[in-house]
Amino acid sequence: MVKIRDIKLGDFPLLLAPMEDVTDPPFRYVCKLMGADIMYTEFISSEGLIRDAAKSVKKLDFDEFERPIGIQIFGHDIESMVKAAQYAESAQPDVIDINYGCPVRKVVAKGAGSGIMNDIPKMVEMTAAVVKAVKLPVTVKTRLGYDEEHKEIVDIAERLQDVGIEALTIHGRTRPQRSSTPSDWTLIGEVKNNPRMRIPIFGNGDVIDPISAKYYKDNFGVDGLMIARGSYGNPWIFREIKHYFKTGELLPAPEINERILISTMQLQKSVEWKGEYRGITEIRKHWGDYFKGLSHFKPYRIKLMEAMTLDEVMSILAEIRSKYS
């Protein structure tokens, strides 16, 4: 049984990665339905949170159904991160997660996200301060290193564990690398197999289907997998991976009725949470993935991208159901 402190996550948990503009409560809801074992909020700016910026504060929202849930924060100033962690704790999540992995230039330029990997002593000091400031378990998500010449994750993992983190997720790329570069799990395996490590180690990077999931599970000894882009418009990935682990069989792609059922759940919750205009426009990024593989789908995708009201979208989904059933 893998645990973060007293939080039981099962024998080999599947984690939904925190992703900006993706892992909002509506999307997390459908991923939980499909078997995600622990999920994280979109990453939240520590500066925005302590200044009560509306966008940052709203990201603290979650439903009881989503538990266990982690709130992820990022920032470059230790004092601000401490205050943000305490603020996040007041929302009563299960875990506080620190983002040391974001590669976005404007974040890195301030020394936040993966930018802090260029200053490991500060990274350790910040982590220790957050751990001390809150009662909840603190976890970290990070990368292999600042760049190819500084892949120091084995040492970093020990030092972060020593100051009190209770789980570590490692993305198998360095700060400059993007998804076009295959992830390298070699050092993730080294961290997991380091006899000094006693906390759960989760691997992240290129887990896009059941076959890749089994490969990383079998070859690197990790305690669980974190899934990011493999979940886009595909909350079924959690169900599919668990079925494959259990039976060795690949489930068929979900039928059109289920695709429409689950995407409609996300749509309706998106509208409830954000209002009709934002709810409809912000779910647009998911439509292509929800209906991936359907022949001659482009005209319907264009309609979905242009629809401006909930009634319009529901009417288009009814057309799709009729066409592909």
User: Catalytic amino acids?
Assistant: 102
DSSP three-state, residue 106: helix
Consecutive H or E run containing 126: helix 120-133
CA distance 236 to 224: 17
Residues 6+ apart with CB under 8 A from 215: none
For the four alpha carbons of 144, 210, 31 and 297, in that order, the dihedral sign comes to positive
CA distance 173 to 144: 6
209 close to 217: Cβ distance less than 8 angstroms: no
104's tokens: 């976005």
124 close to 93: Cβ distance less than 8 angstroms: no
Residue 71 β-bridge partners: 96
Half-sphere exposure of 36 (CA within 13 A, CB side): 30
14's tokens: 């599947």
For residue 68, give Cα distances in angstroms to 9, 86, 241. Answer: 9, 18, 20
Supply the DSSP symbol for 115.
Answer: G
Q: What are phi and psi of 282, to 5 degrees?
A: -80, -15
Q: Counting beta carbons within 10 angstroms of the beta carbon of residue 103, is it exposed (0 to 12), middle (13 to 18) or buried (19 or more)? A: middle
CA distance 72 to 135: 15
